Copies of this chain bind each other. A is one copy, B any other.
C-alpha cells in the first residue's frame, strides 16, 4: 500500500481577467485537493489616458503582483469578439499587454473561455455571472464577495486548478475516472 499524498506540492496559480479599464487578478494555492485563497485585486487604468499609458499601468502592476506572490502558473480568460469592433480592438490590446507581462517571467500561460470557467466552477456552461462569483466565495471560503473583476480572475485560477490538478489528486486517491477528460 502506498502512502497517500505523502508529499504535497503547492501549485500557486495567478488568474487574470483582462480588460481595458479594469484588469482583475487572483492568486490561489493548490495543495492536494485544497484550494487556498492567497490574494486578489484590480488594476484600474485612468479614463482618458493614452493607450500606451494604460498598457504601462497594466504591465507595471501585473509585474508587481508576480514579484510579490511568485506564481508558478498563470491562467487568463479568453475574451470574446464584441459586436463593437473598436471595443474588441481595445480589449485585445489590453489582453495582449497582460499576456506580455506574464511571458516576461517565463511563466506558463493557460487560456480558458468563459464557457470553460462556468463549466469548471459552477458545473454548467449557462451559469450566470453571479453564480460563478458565489461559487468562488464558497470554494475559497471567503468571508466576503470580492470585486467582480477580482472574482472573475479567481474563477479562472480555480478553473485551471480544477481541470489540471484536482482531478489528478483524485486519481492518486484511487477514484475512477469515467470519461477521458484528464490530460
> What residues of chain A have their CB less than 8 Å away from a CB belonging to chain B?
50-52, 55-56, 58-60, 79, 81-82, 85-86, 88-104, 109, 111
Number of copies: 2
Is B51 within 8 A of A100, CB to CB?
no
Name the B residues within 8 Å of A85 (CB-CB): 81-82, 85, 88
List the 8 shortest-distance A-B pairs measured between CB atoms, nearest first: A92-B92, A96-B96, A93-B96, A100-B100, A52-B109, A56-B103, A81-B85, A96-B97
The binding surface of chain A is classed by DSSP as: helix
Is A55 within 8 A of B96, CB to CB?
yes
Is B92 within 8 A of A88, CB to CB?
yes
User: Min CB distance, A6 to chain B, in Å?
Assistant: 34
- Distance of A50 Cα from B110 Cα, bound (Å): 10
Task: Determine which of B60, B82, B93 lies in contact with A95 in the assembled complex, contact meaning CB atoms within 8 Å.
Answer: B93
Task: Determine which of B60, B86, B93, B101 lies in contact with A93 in the assembled complex, contact meaning CB atoms within 8 Å.
Answer: B93
Task: Determine which of B51, B60, B89, B97 lies in contact with A97 in the assembled complex, contact meaning CB atoms within 8 Å.
Answer: B97
